[in-house]
Amino acid sequence: MARTNCTGIENKEKPPVSPLRKKYIARLVARSVIFAVCVVLLFVAPNEFEVLQGLNFFKKFSLLHILWVIWLIDMILQFMPIKNEISLGSQKLFKQRFRPIREKINRTALKKHIETTTAAAGVVMLLWALLVATIGLLYFFDVISKEILLLCSVAFYVCDLICVLIWCPFRLILKNRCCTTCRIFNWDHFMMFSPLMFLVGFYGWSLFAISLVIMLVWELSIIIYPERFWEFSNDALKCSNCTDKLCTQYCQKLRK
């Protein structure tokens, strides 16, 4: 049976997996392996987690240093406009990824869009804060250990790409079409590392601090350049102009 793609053109076959989606699938597999390794370390080499405490980060080498470097590089890349490696949804704050529409932007509609999506983002933040607060309370009452706090972050690290590639529960609140138009795309590191704020030490605090800066840069960009975050002012965000083909399960729903 013929199907209609996101541009309104009929296709008889399912489109091939995009190069970027293949890269993200590979990253999901790698993150899953990292999670499995961390779980194994918890049982066979719990001393590896000593670097989480205080300034132990600088006292001896641990396999967790490698993970810290991976996370650091990943966050540094968020400050750079990179094509073909990172989703446009994460890069739309940059001028280089902005394609202004030909006609005049409807500023009233743009303002309404930003207000609506920001209100929805506030709901997500509240729910996430409740989840993280629960994790923090469990830690302070010794129900979970510092090792489990790290595993929470690694689990969120995996779930981040599950949201991108498979299904995202936040879409139920944000009502966004796909990741490209997602209001909170660059909140991912902040959400990942929020459990680490409870770890008194360089390891956790350094990661959380950088993730907080990334989120603040994102939020400031929305305030200063709102037109870059709306598909009716930024042509690059329109489904018909999509080059990522990352959230294909949502795209296919639009073909029906």
Q: What is the per-residue pLDDT across 97-130, written as a single tens digit (0 to 9) for each?
A: 999 999 999 999 999 999 999 999 999 999 999 9
Least confident of 56-65, 119-128, 169-178: 169-178
Give pTM, 2 decimals.
Answer: 0.90
The structural domains of the chain, with segments of one domain joined by +, span 16-64+84-255
Residue of higher predicted confidence among 255 and 229: 229
pLDDT the model gives residue 13: 64
Quick check: 208 pLDDT over 50?
Answer: yes
Write b or e for each residue in 77-98: b if 16 or more Cβ atoms lie within 10 A of its Cβ, otherwise e: ebeeeeeeebbbbbbbbbeebb
Other beta carbons less than 10 A from residue 123's beta carbon:
12
Residue of higher predicted confidence among 58 and 246: 58
- Percentage of the chain lying above the pLDDT 70 cut: 91
E strands present in the chain? 3-4, 10-11
Quick check: 248 pLDDT over 90?
Answer: no
Q: Are 230 and 147 in contact (CB under 8 A)?
A: no
pLDDT the model gives residue 177: 85
pLDDT the model gives residue 12: 52
Quick check: 229 pLDDT over 80?
Answer: yes
Quick check: 52 pLDDT over 90?
Answer: yes
Backbone angles phi and psi of 87, in degrees to 5: -60, 145
Quick check: 6 pLDDT over 60?
Answer: no
Side chain identity at residue 84, one-letter code: N
Q: What is the mean pLDDT of residues 27-53?
A: 97
Least confident of 15-19, 65-69, 148-152, 176-180: 15-19
* pLDDT bracket for residue 56 (50, 70, 90): very high
Q: What is the per-residue pLDDT across 73-94, written as a single tens digit (0 to 9) for each?
A: 999 999 988 877 889 999 999 9
Write b or e for each residue in 186-214: b if 16 or more Cβ atoms lie within 10 A of its Cβ, otherwise e: bbbbbbbbbbbbbbebbbbbbbbebbeeb
Least confident of 6-15, 74-83, 116-125, 158-167: 6-15
Report residue 35 as tokens: 């999670």
Least confident of 7-16, 80-89, 150-159, 221-230: 7-16
